[in-house]
């Protein structure tokens, strides 16, 4: 048996990949970015914006054209950009060239995002408990690695930093390819979501809003007690990680929302400490503030990785888009919060700073008690369903042999080109026409019982025969949004949540 395919092999690969990402982030903040301060301090924020843009493009690409994603060319391009970026950074530092440093930082960020997403989706191959243990262990291991590197020179640290992305890729690639296959071989999530809405998380979903809101608050708070614009890390962040390991080892895992509640309380406490201690901060006070903020941040980071991985494991076809968009929301929130925080810290005057900190804290709490009041991480994870092959009840129409041929033809065609809407064109006209006649009466009954409009009745009949959204658009000459609206109205009137439930309801009327 291939060690990479065993449970322990999968877990170790994910552990190494995620540790490389988390530890690399620390090395970047401690050993790379400080070199930017005197030459091009804006390079960090510009490269962060490029990272957000890159992740957004990946998310939209995976959402709309997943079949065109090719891992090999994308990886080669990413690693080439990453390597070139570091070369330009070193040349920029040597020549004291700000444009060269900014260009290198942007290329480095652009090239690394694809590999980070691959490492993220590799977690989708783990079950929930091993996944939580892996994430918490990776964060804990990154703290252990910080101890020897705290005494090493900058040259050694940067050399290790450059190599970490390559390590990450080689250990996670087999697992990521398994998840990517589900993404590239299925219909685009944008189309599947019309008839199977529970398989898809819209980009405005509360999950991404929660990530964005939390990272704004954290990014804003981190700017305080920073040195040369760089946040000061603390080992106190390992405390909530020990708590998470205990939770993961419990016989019955608690809901994921407990992690968000703990993270929010710790960050809120950090905000209050900033307000109370503003203008009277010594080394011990700074350690307290940073300790609270980093503890909350690490708790939320673990939750975010776990939530994205758990959602991706339930529907691998949409895992790439979910991870890319989730990371984009996190990076953008952190960038927005840090930018506003630096502006606030530069104002001077304890009253003005304390007032703005209190305003941000109030906004953070208000968002949690209003916009996110009904949101639940656990319910979001449990509510996502995988893309399912429809079970067409053709055999119940009285001709088992014909039904079998028709069903197999539909399924084979759907596997090849379901997103083009051609599945039903290749399924065998005679078989499908026969089933259409037999389903006409139950469709009419359902339409009359639930008071569907004539157009909704037409779409109901097509959905009952397993037609997908692109086919309906072409058949009835309707736009995608029009079809989506009609399908949503039909589902609401019938009280169903997926195309399979609609088919089952029509079959019940038939009997």
Nearest to 506 by CA among 470, 476, 469, 463: 463
pLDDT for 278 equals: 64
How is residue 220 written in tokens? 């804003």
What are the tens digits of pLDDT across the range 95-108?
A: 999 999 999 999 99
What's the structural domain count of the chain?
2
Domain presence at residue 393:
no
Return the pLDDT at 69.
Answer: 93
Res 423: pLDDT = 38
* Residues 437, 468 share a domain: yes
Query: Is 183 part of any domain?
Result: yes
* 390 lies in some domain: no
The set of residues, in sequence order, having a beta carbon less than 8 Å from that of 194 and lying 6+ positions away, is: 469, 480, 483, 484, 487
pLDDT at 200: 87
Query: Residue 424 sits in a domain of what CATH number?
Result: 1.10.10.10
Q: Is there a single domain that holds both residue 313 and residue 233?
A: yes
> Do 337 and 468 fall within a single domain?
no
Which pLDDT tens digit goes with each residue over 208-255?
A: 999 999 999 888 877 765 555 555 555 666 666 677 667 667 777 678
Are 368 and 450 found together in one domain? no
Q: What pTM value is reported for the model?
A: 0.84
Task: Tell me, yes or no, whether 376 and 466 share the same domain.
Answer: no
Range of the domain at 37: 3-383
**CATH at 169:** 1.20.1250.20
379 and 491 housed in the same domain: no
The pLDDT assigned to 298 comes to 82
Q: Has residue 200 been placed in a domain?
A: yes
Q: CA–CA distance from 16 to each of 1, 19, 135, 157, 196 (Å)? A: 21, 5, 10, 18, 35
Ranges of residues in the chain whose predicted pLDDT is under 70: 1-5, 224-241, 244-245, 247-248, 253, 278-287, 345, 348-349, 393-437, 510-511
For residue 344, tell me if it sits in a domain: yes
Residues 164 and 284 in one domain: yes
Tokens of 145: 């690695």
**Pair (372, 415) in one structural domain:** no
Q: For residue 391, is it within any domain?
A: no
**Residue 15 shares a structural domain with residue 115:** yes
For residue 389, being part of any structural domain is answered with no
Question: Quick check: is 392 in a domain?
Answer: no
DSSP string, 100-125: HHHHHHHHHHHHHHHHHHHHHHHGGG
Residues 69, 33, single domain; the answer is: yes
pLDDT at 268: 87
What single string gives the DSSP state of each residue in 464-496? Answer: HTT--HHHHHHHHT--HHHHHHHHHHHHHHHT-
Q: Are residues 80 and 46 in the same domain?
A: yes
Q: Are 88 and 209 members of one domain?
A: yes
């Amino acid at each position: 048996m291939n060690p990479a395919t065993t449970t322990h092999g999968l877990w170790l690969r994910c552990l190494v990949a995620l540790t490389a990402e988390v530890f690399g982030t620390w090395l970047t903040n401690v050993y790379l970015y400080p070199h930017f301060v005197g030459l091009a301090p804006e390079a960090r924020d510009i490269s962060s914006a490029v990272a957000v843009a890159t992740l957004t493009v990946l998310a939209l690409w995976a959402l709309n054209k997943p079949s065109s994603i090719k891992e090999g060319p994308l990886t080669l391009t990413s690693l080439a950009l990453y390597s070139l970026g570091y070369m330009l950074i070193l040349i920029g530092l040597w020549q004291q060239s700000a444009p060269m440093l900014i260009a290198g930082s942007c290329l480095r960020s652009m090239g690394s995002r694809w590999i980070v997403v691959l490492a993220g989706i590799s977690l989708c191959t783990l079950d929930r408990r091993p996944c939580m243990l892996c994430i918490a262990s990776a964060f804990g291991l990154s703290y252990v690695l910080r101890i020897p590197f705290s005494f090493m020179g900058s040259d050694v640290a940067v050399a290790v930093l450059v190599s970490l992305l390559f390590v990450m890729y080689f250990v996670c690639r087999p697992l990521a390819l398994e998840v990517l296959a589900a993404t590239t071989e299925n219909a685009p999530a944008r189309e599947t979501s019309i008839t199977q809405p529970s398989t898809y998380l819209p980009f405005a979903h509360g999950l991404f809003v929660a990530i964005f809101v939390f990272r704004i608050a954290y990014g804003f708070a981190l700017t305080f007690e920073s040195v040369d614009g760089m946040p000061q890390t603390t080992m106190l962040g390992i405390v909530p990680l020990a708590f998470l390991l205990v939770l993961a080892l419990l016989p019955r895992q608690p809901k994921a929302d407990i992690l968000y509640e703990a993270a929010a309380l710790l960050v809120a406490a950090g905000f209050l400490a900033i307000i109370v201690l503003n203008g009277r901060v010594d080394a011990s006070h700074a350690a307290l503030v940073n300790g609270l903020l980093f503890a909350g941040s690490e708790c939320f980071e673990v939750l975010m990785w776990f939530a994205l991985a758990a959602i991706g494991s339930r529907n691998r076809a949409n895992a790439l888009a979910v991870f890319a968009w989730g990371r984009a929301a996190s990076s953008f929130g952190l960038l927005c919060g840090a930018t506003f925080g630096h502006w606030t810290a530069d104002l001077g005057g304890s009253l003005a700073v304390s007032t703005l900190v209190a305003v941000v804290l109030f906004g953070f709490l208000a968002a949690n008690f209003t916009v996110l009041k009904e949101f639940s991480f656990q319910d979001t994870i449990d509510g996502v369903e995988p893309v399912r092959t429809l079970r067409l009840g053709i055999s119940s129409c009285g001709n088992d042999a014909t039904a079998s041929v028709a069903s197999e033809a539909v399924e084979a065609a759907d596997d090849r080109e379901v997103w083009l809407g051609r599945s039903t064109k290749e399924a065998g006209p005679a078989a499908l026409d026969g089933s259409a006649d037999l389903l006409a009466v139950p469709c009419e009954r359902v339409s009359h019982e639930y008071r569907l409009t004539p157009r909704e009745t037409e779409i109901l009949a097509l959905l009952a025969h397993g037609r997908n959204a692109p086919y309906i658009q072409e058949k009835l000459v309707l736009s995608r949004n029009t079809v989506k609206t009609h399908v949503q109205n039909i589902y609401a009137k019938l009280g169903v949540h997926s195309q399979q439930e609609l088919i089952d309801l029509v079959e019940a009327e038939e009997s």
